[in-house]
């Protein structure tokens, strides 16, 4: 077999392999291994109930705890959606579950976290960037940043968020939200 025919066969096999990989969408298969979906019954139930995109809830959980329901942050935030005790206590009162709730219980943490995200989205007129900023840094900080002109009221300039942790948080959750939407939305 001459060199030209061998090259042609290699090109044809390469093109065939690329076409086959595109047909089975290997990229999505790999991404689904990285961007897992756990606790989906609770995520979808409470996201629907509190009008939060389930892909956003998944992205928050992935960034906050990587689906570790026993996670505790350095600042003391707990569970899948990394809630501070004071926030969780306030939400539990509103949901009438304050008497006996476990912040590390997956369902409880998801209902509390999803309720909180819903509240923030409503407060910021469904502006995901501002709501995520407040989820991480608190409403008081976000309102102060808007009031003093550090960030715009429409959230279009999240790069100006003065807390690096919050800026990175918003970037990560937004990225993961887009990926979850592509894979599962």
Task: Give the phi and the psi of residue 78 in degrees, each rounded to 5.
Answer: -130, 150
d(CA 159, CA 53): 24
Q: CB within 8 A of 80, min separation 6: which ones? A: 39, 61, 64, 65, 67, 68, 69, 71, 106, 109, 110, 113
Q: How many residues does the chain have?
A: 185
- Residue 29 vs residues 4, 10, 38, 65, 103: alpha-carbon distances, Å: 36, 26, 16, 23, 33
Q: Which residues are catalytic?
A: 64
């Amino acid at each position: 077999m001459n060199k030209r025919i061998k090259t042609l066969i290699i090109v044809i096999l390469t093109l065939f392999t690329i076409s086959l990989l595109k047909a089975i969408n290997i990229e999505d298969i790999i991404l689904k291994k990285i961007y897992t979906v756990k606790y989906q019954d609770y995520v979808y139930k409470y996201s629907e109930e509190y009008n939060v995109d389930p892909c956003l809830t998944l992205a928050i959980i992935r960034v906050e705890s990587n689906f570790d329901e026993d996670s505790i942050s350095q600042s003391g935030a707990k569970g899948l959606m990394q809630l501070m005790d004071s926030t969780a206590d306030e939400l539990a009162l509103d949901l009438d579950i304050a008497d006996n709730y476990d912040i590390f219980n997956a369902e409880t943490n998801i209902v509390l976290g999803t309720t909180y995200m819903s509240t923030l989205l409503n407060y910021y007129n469904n502006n995901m960037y501002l709501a995520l900023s407040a989820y991480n840094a608190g409403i008081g900080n976000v309102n102060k940043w808007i009031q003093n002109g550090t960030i715009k009221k429409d959230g279009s300039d999240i790069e100006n968020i003065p807390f690096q942790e919050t800026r990175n948080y918003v970037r990560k959750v937004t990225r993961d939200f887009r990926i979850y939407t592509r894979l599962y939305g």
